[in-house]
Amino acid sequence: MLNLNIELPTQITELLNRLNAYSYHAYIVGRCVRELIGGQGTVDFDIITDAELERIRAIFEIYSVNIDNMEKGEVIVTVQGLPVLIAPYRKGFKSGGSPVYTDNLTDDLKRRDFSFNAIAYNPREGFIDPFGGIDCLEGEEAIVRIIHEEQISEQKEKLNKEEEPSTFERNPVAILQALGYYSSGDFAICEETREALLKDKAYIKKIPEADLRTELSWVLRGKKVSTVLEEYKEIFIELIPEFENLDGFDLKRPEHNYDALVHTFRSVGYASPVLTLRYAMLFHALGKPDCFSADKSGKGHYYGHAERSWLYARRIMRRMGFSEDETREVGFIIRNQHVEIAPDRRSLKLKLREMPPERLKLLLQFRHADLKAQSPEFEDAAMQCKRQVDVINEIVTMKECYTPGQLAVNRYDLMQKNIVRSDEQATAVLERLLDMVIDSPAFNTRTRLLNAAEKIMRQAYHK
C-alpha cells in the first residue's frame, strides 16, 4: 500500500523553507520520493529548485556546502549531519557533461527516464506527477515505464518541434537501469518499455565504462537475474557479442537440458549473489563451441574449454574496464571449474592447504550452480556441494587445523627442544604432525605434538 502522507525529516523541511523564504520553488525529487511513497524510508535526498546555482550557494552559505560537483550543476548541503544534493532545474547535459538549465519543473522531471523517478514533492503543493509515476508504484510490483514522447506531448505543445531522441538514445545507461530494476524482483517492465528496450538495444554500446560496470553488476546481483538474461538475451548479445556463439548451441550432452546460452544464464541465477562468482558463471562456457568434439556415439566433449573460456572472459572484462584484480579473481574460478573436490572432511582440509577457504567455497558454489543449471537429475550432487561449503564453514569456525601454521608447535619449538637439528627435519616433522591433526583435531596441543615429534625422530633414527 502506498504512503501518500509522507513525513520529511526536519533537515529537509528546513532547506525547502529556506528556499521558499527567498521566493523560490523547491521540491524533493527522484528516488527519495519513490522510496518514501513505497514506505521504505530513505537517507538520500535530492532537492531541485528554480534558484540559480550561485544563488543556491549563497542562500546556504551558513551551512556546510560541498561545491566539488558545481560543474555538473549541483552542490551538497549538509544540515545536522544529513547531506542533501541541491540543484537548479536541469533538462539534460551537453556532450561534455555540462548541464543545460531550464526554468520549467516538467523539463527536469522529463529527463529522469522512468515515470516513478519523475515525481516531485513538497509539503505546500503535494505531489507533482506529470507522467503517472504514482500509478506505476501501485500493486505488488512497481512498473518500470519510460516517459514516452506521447506523455510529454500531453504536457507541452510539441507538434511544431523537431522529434526528440528516445529515452535510451538520450541516456543509454537507462537500458541497464531498467533491467536492474526488473532483476531486483520488486519491479516489472511494461510492454511499451520492453519494446523500446529491444528497439534501442544498440545504444547499450554507448554506455561509459564506469557506468557499465556499475549497472551490469546491479543486474547480476538481482534475484531474477536469470529471467532478465533470458528474456532480454538480444540486449546482452548486443553488449557481449561473444554470447552469439552460445545461442542455440547444442551441447550434445545427456545431462544438459538446455542450449549453451540458456544453461549459462540459468547458472548465473543459481549462483550465490557474489559478483565475482556471478561474473564467472556468466563467462564460464564461452570457450565450449571452440573446443567441441564428438565421440563415436555423438556425445560432445570440450577438452580445454576452461582455459579458452578464461581467454574470452579476460578480453571482455578488459574491454569493460574491470581492474586486473577483479579480472584475476573471476579467472581463478573459470580456470579451476573442473578441479576435483572430494566430499569428505579430510579431503576438504587437504584442499584448504592449497587455497584459502573463501576461494574453495567459491569453486564449490560454482559447481552447485553449474549442476543446478544442467538438469534436475543433478539435484543431489548440487546439494552435496552445499554441504561441503557448510563443512568448510564449520572447519573454519571450529578453528580446526589444516596448515602447518595452525599447529600448536612450530619449527622454533622443535629446535629449542633439540628434537630436530635442521630446517629440513623440522619441515618433515611438521608435515607428519599435520597429517595426525587433520585426522584428529583434538591432537593439536603443544604437549601431544612435542611428544609425537620426539617419537617420529626416534623412529627415523632406528631405521
Does the structure show a pLDDT above 50 at 438?
yes
Does the structure show a pLDDT above 70 at 460?
yes
pLDDT at 159: 43
pLDDT at 29: 97
Report pLDDT digits (tens) over 123-140. 999 999 999 999 999 888
Alpha carbon 125 to chain centroid, angstroms: 38
Report pLDDT digits (tens) over 217-231. 999 999 999 999 999
Q: What is the C-alpha separation between 17 and 267, in angstroms, rounded? A: 52
pLDDT at 148: 61
Does the structure show a pLDDT above 50 at 361?
yes
Q: What is the C-alpha separation between 172 and 179, in angstroms, rounded? A: 12
CB atoms within 10 A of CB 290: 14
Helices (H) and strands (E) in the chain, counts: 22, 13
Q: What percentage of the chain carries pLDDT values higher than 90? A: 86
pLDDT at 163: 62
Span 430-449, average pLDDT: 94
Q: What phi and psi, each to the nearest 5 degrees, are found at residue 23?
A: 70, 30
| Whole-model pTM over 0.75 | yes
pLDDT band at 461 (very low <50, low <70, confident <90, very high): confident
Residue extents of the structural domains in the chain:
10-164, 166-239, 249-397, 404-462
Q: What is the C-alpha separation between 63 and 87, in angstroms, rounded? A: 16
Question: What are the cell numbers at 32?
Answer: 527519495
CATH pick for 10-164 out of 3.30.460.10, 3.40.50.300, 3.40.1000.10, 3.30.420.40:
3.30.460.10
Does the structure show a pLDDT above 50 at 141?
yes
Q: Strands 293-294 and 300-301: what pairing?
A: antiparallel
pLDDT at 1: 65
pLDDT band at 462 (very low <50, low <70, confident <90, very high): low
Q: What is the DSSP string of 250-301?
A: ----TT--S-HHHHHHHHHHHS-S-HHHHHHHHHTTTTTGGG-EE-TT--EE
Does the structure show a pLDDT above 80 at 149?
no
Alpha carbon 227 to chain centroid, angstroms: 16
Does the structure show a pLDDT above 80 at 153?
no
The answer to whether 287 and 307 are in contact (CB under 8 A) is yes
The answer to whether 85 and 49 are in contact (CB under 8 A) is no
- The neighbouring-strand residues paired with 143 are 188
Does the structure show a pLDDT above 90 at 94?
no
Q: What percentage of the chain carries pLDDT values higher than 70? A: 96
Please, what is the average pLDDT of the chain?
92
Report pLDDT digits (tens) over 9-67. 999 999 999 999 999 999 999 999 999 998 877 778 999 999 999 999 999 999 999 99
Span 297-301, average pLDDT: 92
Report pLDDT digits (tens) over 372-387. 999 888 999 999 999 9
pLDDT band at 152 (very low <50, low <70, confident <90, very high): very low
Does the structure show a pLDDT above 70 at 250?
yes
pLDDT at 31: 92
Q: What is the C-alpha separation between 34 and 109, in angstroms, rounded? A: 13
Does the structure show a pLDDT above 50 at 408?
yes
Q: What phi and psi, each to the nearest 5 degrees, are found at residue 321?
A: 85, 20
Q: What phi and psi, each to the nearest 5 degrees, are found at residue 259?
A: -70, 175
The answer to whether 302 and 284 are in contact (CB under 8 A) is no
Span 90-100, average pLDDT: 86
166-239: CATH number:
1.10.110.30
pLDDT at 463: 56
Report the first-to-last Cα separation within the chain, whole angstroms.
Answer: 81
Report pLDDT digits (tens) over 186-243. 999 999 999 999 999 999 999 999 999 999 999 999 999 999 999 999 999 999 999 9
Span 336-358, average pLDDT: 94
Q: What is the C-alpha separation between 327 and 316, in angstroms, rounded? A: 10
DSSP class of residue 421 equals S
The answer to whether 194 and 145 are in contact (CB under 8 A) is no
Alpha helices in 100-166 (DSSP H): 105-110, 133-136, 149-155
Residues 6 or more apart in contact with residue 51 via CB below 8 angstroms: 19, 22, 24, 26, 59, 88
Span 300-316, average pLDDT: 96
